Amino acid sequence: RNLSTRGRAVERSMASPARSLEPFDPVLSAAAEPVVLPVPAGAVKVLPRWAEEDQVRRWRLKYRQQEQGETDRSGEQGSLDDGLAWVEVELRSFTRELPLVGLQHGEPHIFKVAVETPHGWSDWSTVVSCIPPSPLPPGKCAAVLASVHDDTTALVAWTRPIDCAAAVNIGEVGCYRVLISWPNGQREEMVEGDIDHHFVTGLECLTDYRFQVSGENCSGWGEYSDLSPVLQVPPPVPHRLQQPTLRRATHHTAVIQWQHPQSSGVPVDSFSFRYTTAEAFPEGKVANPEAHYVEVTDVPSNASQFVIQNLRPGQQYIFQVRALNKFGKGVWSDTSIPSRTLEGKAPSKISTLAAPNIYRSFITLQWTPAEENGYEVTSHLMRYANKEDMSDAQEMVPIVVNKGGLDQCELRHLKKSAYWFQIAAFNEVGISGWSDPCHVNLSVEHRLEDA
């Protein structure tokens, strides 16, 4: 059979029966014995020898694996027929090198050649013996990279090593081992199959880990790869919380609610949340100085809702929440649905004006403070009259103090006459309505009741 590819012929022998070519009768003396070189792995290279003046047209090669227990045939006359099956190939003279792959590695093979010139075929050369080398263990894995998968797991990936066994179809890497090293120890994990990654579990946070990988084929274990870059599994800070919800918004308050994170081996120490009137939370410091931005910390770990104070009336707020443990702070949750506080307005009408203390020319007026309705009450206005219809009313600014949760003012040097009093409250929006009149008659003498 004539085989040629760019001046080279390749023949595979997979224990197939002898291939027969048309026999020839030698008319010339034996050809020069070939040079047979071992080539990794399970292969040899056959180089026939002749002089240019021989004008060789074709040449033939016979080879076979040496039988078990057979004596070394090297140096024997190739013309001797041993009655065994040989593989025979024929090639043209321009093929001066013939690689043979797929031979049984580690076992001796024998070879002989004959050449054809214009005068006819030569006799077979003397027998040459050669042992195809066994494949080497896999090469060193390259580019071992490790990345964090979760709180206790790393993904270790590597480039598959060069494997001579797989290259000649006599085996492949069937197993890997991953060496995990840290300052106080190391351990090994076996990985079955020809793969290029492995999940390493049971890692501890804040520890420097490095990884090495080696592969195994039919010839044994390859060399460990170089150490991977240092990898630290990050501290198991709390998981990101779900979006918080807001309810019962008033002028200055709202109730924020959230769900606790998934349970883990590290308990939550506290919660914190933040809120702003801006459209979104900026990175770092508040970009808009006019926006109302507040962060609340040290909320107890057993809480799942919190009343937020000091909000601005008529403003739209967004909120975020996160959990903290001994390792650090979790990531801020998604932003809540925007929530608006009640619009501010003038204080409510004072409804409980009374005179608990009445003397000859001195009285005390007292009332429950007006509802602020979003803005602080800044002052009060009083009017008084001697007629019930308040037609002759006069106005004054009283000095108001708060005692025991009630607002009071004292009026002195009053005449012995009947009076009707009304109170109104001011904030930055405006004035409340006048209270209902409080009647005090100083024309009647007031005495303390007997005990």
The residue-averaged pLDDT of 75-84 equals: 90
The pLDDT value given to residue 150: 85
- Does residue 187 surpass a pLDDT of 60? yes
Mapped onto helix, strand or coil, the DSSP state of residue 175 is strand
The Cα 295–Cα 286 span in angstroms is 11
The Cα 381–Cα 435 span in angstroms is 11
The pLDDT value given to residue 89: 95
Mapped onto helix, strand or coil, the DSSP state of residue 26 is coil
Residues making up the chain, counted from first to last: 451
- Give the whole-number percent of the chain exceeding pLDDT 70: 91
The residue-averaged pLDDT of 91-120 equals: 93
The pLDDT value given to residue 236: 83
Determine if the pTM surpasses 0.85: no
DSSP per-residue codes, 117-158: ETTEEEEPPPPEEE-PPPPPPP---EEEEEEEEETTEEEEEE
The pLDDT value given to residue 281: 86
- Does residue 42 surpass a pLDDT of 90? no
The Cα 112–Cα 76 span in angstroms is 10
The pLDDT value given to residue 4: 33
ω into 355 cis (within 30 of 0): no
Residue carrying the six token digits 């190939």: 89
